[in-house]
């Protein structure tokens, strides 16, 4: 169990798409609520091939409201479970991405969500990387403006090259640099770094240094132990130290649990005292 002294100054949310991935999507919010959580985040829940119907969006919304959960983070158009890593730099998804923004923003606004995660996208074979980067900046600026309509931040995330070998942002600096460029284009100042400690650990980054260097750019934090991507306590990451550093740096956002539990049911959260699962 994580010492309360470090974790009690932070707010926790749980990623339904991975932590409760073994359940049907409609059942995941209720399962999170039963485990003591009052807030949850989602990968894009509709797949990327087709935009969702009004009924599909309403079903997601109702599953949250019925469970009494607040949505704290939503990935934009993507299909992570099928190997996509975002669509903002994919020319084939250009129109669909733009069309999906109103859906994402409306769903987020209705559930109190103020953080939208726009994964950069894999490199596409046969497409010039410079062309992808230009499109990504255009789409990220579009997404930042859409997020601004609901006073939300746009998150830019670094992944790890072992699991996402075609994803170009694999360091904290690379993600922060992109967020800075988006802010320069829009002038809105709402592009932020999604500090996923698992991915950064897999890349061998100095996690205390990342927090110390980029604390003012962090808009959201996600965690899983490394190696393995399981719950804290199963790997080598010193979460007590990192939580203390985040709190000391004045981080006031959410810490998203984005891991694959090694055990089913309530035991997957034994490391986090139940009172701390209720986001304040």
**Residues assigned a catalytic role:** 157, 258
Instruction: List b or e across 205-229, with b for residues whose CB sees 16 or more CB atoms inside 10 angstroms.
Output: bebeebbeebbebbbbbbbbbbeeb
Q: Which two tokens stand for residue 221?
A: 């934090």
Whether residue 156 contacts residue 74, with contact meaning beta carbons closer than 8 Å, is answered with no
State both tokens at 277.
Answer: 């699962």
DSSP string for 98-120? HHHHHHHHHHHHHTT--EEE--B
User: What are the structure tokens assigned to 74, written together?
Assistant: 């939503």
Within 155-264, residue ranges assigned H as helices are 172-186, 197-202, 207-214, 239-248
The answer to whether 116 and 79 are in contact (CB under 8 A) is no
Tokens of 216: 């003012």
80 neighbors 44 (Cβ within 8 angstroms):
yes
- Dist. CA 223–CA 253, nearest whole Å: 13
Neighbours of 170 (CB within 10 A): 19
- Cis check: omega of the bond before 100, within 30 degrees of 0: no
- Determine contact, residues 156/194, Cβ cutoff 8 Å: yes
Phi-psi region of 119 (alpha: psi -120 to 50; beta: other; left: phi over 0): beta
């Amino acid at each position: 169990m994580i010492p309360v002294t470090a974790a009690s100054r932070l707010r926790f949310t749980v990623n339904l798409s991975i932590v409760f991935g073994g359940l049907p999507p409609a059942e995941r919010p209720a399962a999170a609520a039963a485990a003591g959580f009052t807030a949850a985040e989602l990968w894009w829940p509709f797949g990327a091939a087709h935009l969702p119907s009004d009924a599909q969006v309403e079903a997601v919304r109702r599953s949250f409201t019925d469970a009494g959960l607040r949505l704290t983070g939503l990935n934009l158009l993507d299909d992570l479970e099928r190997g996509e890593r975002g669509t903002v730099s994919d020319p084939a998804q250009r129109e669909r991405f733009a069309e999906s923004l109103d859906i994402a923003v409306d769903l987020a606004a209705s559930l109190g969500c103020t953080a939208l995660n726009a994964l950069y996208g894999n490199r596409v074979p046969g497409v010039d990387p410079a062309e992808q980067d230009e499109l990504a900046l255009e789409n990220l600026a579009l997404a930042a403006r859409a997020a601004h309509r609901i006073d939300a931040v746009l998150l830019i995330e670094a992944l790890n090259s072992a699991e996402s070998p075609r994803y170009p942002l694999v360091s904290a600096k690379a993600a922060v640099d992109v967020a800075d460029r988006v802010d320069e284009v829009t002038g809105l100042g709402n592009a932020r770094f999604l500090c996923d400690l698992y991915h950064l650990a897999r890349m061998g980054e100095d996690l205390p240094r990342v927090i110390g260097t980029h604390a003012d750019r962090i808009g959201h934090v996600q965690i899983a132990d490394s190696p393995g991507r399981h719950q804290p306590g199963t790997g080598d990451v010193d979460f007590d130290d990192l939580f203390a550093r985040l709190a000391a740096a004045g981080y006031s956002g959410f810490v998203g649990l984005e891991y694959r539990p090694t055990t089913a049911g309530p035991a997957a959260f034994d490391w986090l005292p139940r009172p701390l699962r209720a986001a304040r």
